[in-house]
Amino acid sequence: MVNKERMLAEFFELVKIRCSTKAERQVADVLKGRLTALGMEVFEDNTGEKIGGNCGNLIAYIEGTIQGAPTLMLSAHMDCVEPCGGIEPVLKDGIITSVGDTILGADDKAGIAAILEALRVIVEKKIPHGPLQIVFTVAEEGGLNGAKNMEPSLLKADFGYALDSSGAPGEIINMAPGQNNIIAIVHGKKAHAGIAPEEGINAIVVAGAALAELKYGRIDFETTANIGIISGGVATNIVPDKVEIKCEARSRNMEKLETQTHHMKETFERVVASHGGRAEVIVRQSYGPYVLTEDAPVVTLAVDASKNIGLIPVVKATGGGSDANFFNNYGVPTAVLGVGMNKVHTADEYIKEIDLYNSAELVISLIKTAGTMKK
C-alpha cells in the first residue's frame, strides 16, 4: 500500500531539515502543513515557552469514520541530536546513511515519515478508521522535555504508539524504566597542598571513597545505575574543597528505583561524613517507569497488526526512556515500536530501506486493526 518513492523522498527531505533540540520550528512548520493538508486539526501547545525553545509540541486530530472505535495515538519526536545540520542522506544497496560526519536523523524522522505516509494512504484509499490523534513532540533528546511539559489533558487517545526505537518493525516495547538523577556535591576543606595539606580535607579523595562503596552498573535484570560526570578542583597546589558528581539510577520497578537511589544518597552522605566532609545530595525524578502486560489491548493490537502484514512480533523490555514514559503516566497506555533505526546518535547511523517502508505498513495495519475494536 505504501508509495515507496514518495515516502523515501519525504524521508530524505525531512532529515535534511536541521532540527536541534529546542529549535524545531522549521520542521514543525513543514509538518503542520502536511497534517493540515490531510484534513487534520493541528494545535501547537506552549511547551516551547516553558523550556526556552522556539516551538511547541504539535497535536493533530481527525475524526473517525467508524463509530465506537477507540481513539488511537501515533507519536514521534521532531528533534535530533547534534550534529544534525547539513545532513546529506544516501541510499546504497538498500541501506540509508548520511554522506558526511553528521547523524542520519532516522531517530526520529523515520517515525515521522512512517506516520505521514500511513495517513496519506488512509486518506487516499478512503480506508475506514477510528479517531486518530497525532503527537509530534519537541525536545525528546536530553530529557523528554517536550512530553514532560505537555498538558496531559491534551491527550484524548484510548491508547497509542511512539515510533521511536531501534529494532525492526514488529518489535514492541512494553516495559521501560523510570530514571532518577542524583547530584552529589561533596564539600571538603581548602588548604595549600604544599605548605599545609594536613589542614585540608580533599573533596576529590573523599568522593572517591564514597564511589568505591557504590553499587553501579547492572544491579539486576531491571535496574541499573551509572556515575556519569565528575568535576572539581582548581589547581594542583590547592587541596580541593568541592567536587560535583552527577549520577543516575534506573529501574522498571519503582520500589527498586527508590532503593537504589536511597543507597546512592546514603552512601555519599555517610562515607563523606566519616572523612570529615559533607555531602549535599540532590535527587530529581526524570520520569517514571511503565509496564504494559502482554494481554493489554495496546500490546495485543500491535501483535495482531504486525502479523497481519507478515511481520514477526517481538514483545520485549528496554533499558531506555522515551516520550511513552510520560504518556503512560498521563493515563494513555503507550507502547514503543521499532522502526529500524541503528547506531543512533552517531555518524554511523543507518536504516534499512525496507524497514522504513515496513514501519509505514505497520502504522496502516494498526489503524485498520484498531478500527475493528470497540471501546
At 220 the three-state DSSP class reads strand
Task: Tell how strand 89-92 and strand 95-98 pair up.
Answer: antiparallel
Please name the residues in contact with 321: beta carbons below 8 A apart, sequence gap of 6 or more.
144, 176, 177, 178, 179, 250, 286, 287
Distance CA 295, CA 135 (A): 25
Please name the residues in contact with 188: beta carbons below 8 A apart, sequence gap of 6 or more.
200, 201, 202, 203, 204, 206, 239, 240, 241, 242, 243, 276, 277
Long-range contacts of the stretch 85-92 (C-beta < 8 A, 24+): 85/18, 85/20, 86/18, 87/15, 87/16, 87/18, 88/16, 89/11, 89/12, 89/15, 89/16, 91/8, 91/353
Catalytic positions, written as ranges: 79, 140
Please name the residues in contact with 18: beta carbons below 8 A apart, sequence gap of 6 or more.
26, 84, 85, 86, 87
**Residue 375 exposed, middle or buried by CB count within 10 Å (0-12, 13-18, 19+):** exposed
Distance CA 18, CA 103 (A): 11
Please name the residues in contact with 7: beta carbons below 8 A apart, sequence gap of 6 or more.
113, 117, 356, 357, 360
Distance CA 321, CA 178 (A): 7
Nearest to 239 by CA among 274, 207, 196: 196
Cell numbers standing for residue 48:
516551547
